[in-house]
Structure 1
Amino acid sequence: MNSLSEQIHKLNDMFVQGNVLEAFEQFYAEDVVMQENEQEPTVGKEANRRREEEFISKVTEIRVAKPLKVAVGLGVTMVEWKFDYTHEDWGVRDYKQVSVQEWEDGKIVKEKFYYAE
């Protein structure tokens, strides 16, 4: 099994290369819980897959999607991202976001995204 550092770097690389759904399938647990800021969490891989697919389908242009900083702890990773893209419903979005992932058995079981709205 790869180290947590290797796993998060591979996940990030796949994301940057546009392989978001493939990365999701490989690295996320069936019972994953994902949450945007303080919104209600989305529970389960199927529900989160649908959420990801809907988001991706509405992104019309990606100018920047890159990890700036990565931290690895015991069962947890954190990534600071820089994003600049155009979304069909939200228009131009240019911001930084921190993603915090909790891992068990090589899979992400919880992920929360922190960013200014």
Structure 2
Amino acid sequence: MENQIKNALSDLKQLLGKGEFMAAMEKYLADDVVLQEANNEPKVGKEVCLQAERELLATVTHFGKYEMKNIAVGGDTSYYEAVMEFTTNDGTEHHFEQVNRTQWRDGKIVNERYFHA
């Protein structure tokens, strides 16, 4: 299981690094996924998460970067640090640093939470 997760994370690192967020989500989110940003209400279900991402990406005018580092896998859970930079259509430059905690089932993400710095 851990090797399967490590392979998926390697692929995700490539996809996200190129800004291919929708492709990554389509490929790796389970239908019953739960995604949660910090202490916000979780988003439940792949379609809900995809729609929220489409709405966010519609505001992005420039993608700077998405870096994954310090990846760790144990059992069905992975952790990594992420740095993301992008500009939105209101001219705001965003810089996020976060830790992602992900639970996997059958090669798909079933639960993910983002802890922001």
Q: Distance in 2 between matches of 1:89 and 1:102?
A: 34
The answer for the alignment partner of 1:16 in structure 2 is 17
The answer for the alignment partner of 1:114 in structure 2 is 115
% same residue: 33
The answer for the alignment partner of 2:66 in structure 1 is 65
| TM-score for both structures, normalised by structure 1 | 0.90
Contact 2:68 2:81 survives alignment (8 Å): yes
The answer for the alignment partner of 1:28 in structure 2 is 29
CA RMSD of aligned residues (A): 1.7
Q: Distance in 1 between matches of 2:59 and 2:18?
A: 18
Q: Distance in 2 between matches of 1:48 and 1:90?
A: 25
Give, in angstroms, the shift of residue 22 of structure 1.
1.2
Q: Distance in 2 between matches of 1:32 and 1:91?
A: 30
Q: Distance in 2 between matches of 1:89 and 1:9?
A: 33
Q: Distance in 2 between matches of 1:95 and 1:18?
A: 15
Uncovered stretches (5+) of structure 2, i.e. residues with no partner:
none
More moved, 2-11 vs 89-98 = 89-98
The answer for the alignment partner of 2:7 in structure 1 is 6
More moved, 43-52 vs 77-86 = 77-86
Structure 1 runs of 4+ off > 6 angstroms? none
Q: Distance in 2 between matches of 1:5 and 1:90?
A: 36
More moved, 70-79 vs 87-96 = 87-96
More moved, 27-36 vs 4-13 = 4-13
Q: Distance in 2 between matches of 1:99 and 1:13?
A: 16
Q: Distance in 1 between matches of 2:88 and 2:26?
A: 23
The number of equivalent residue pairs is: 116
Uncovered stretches (5+) of structure 1, i.e. residues with no partner:
none
Structure 2 SS opposite 1:18: coil
More moved, 100-109 vs 79-88 = 79-88
Give, in angstroms, the shift of residue 67 of structure 1.
1.1
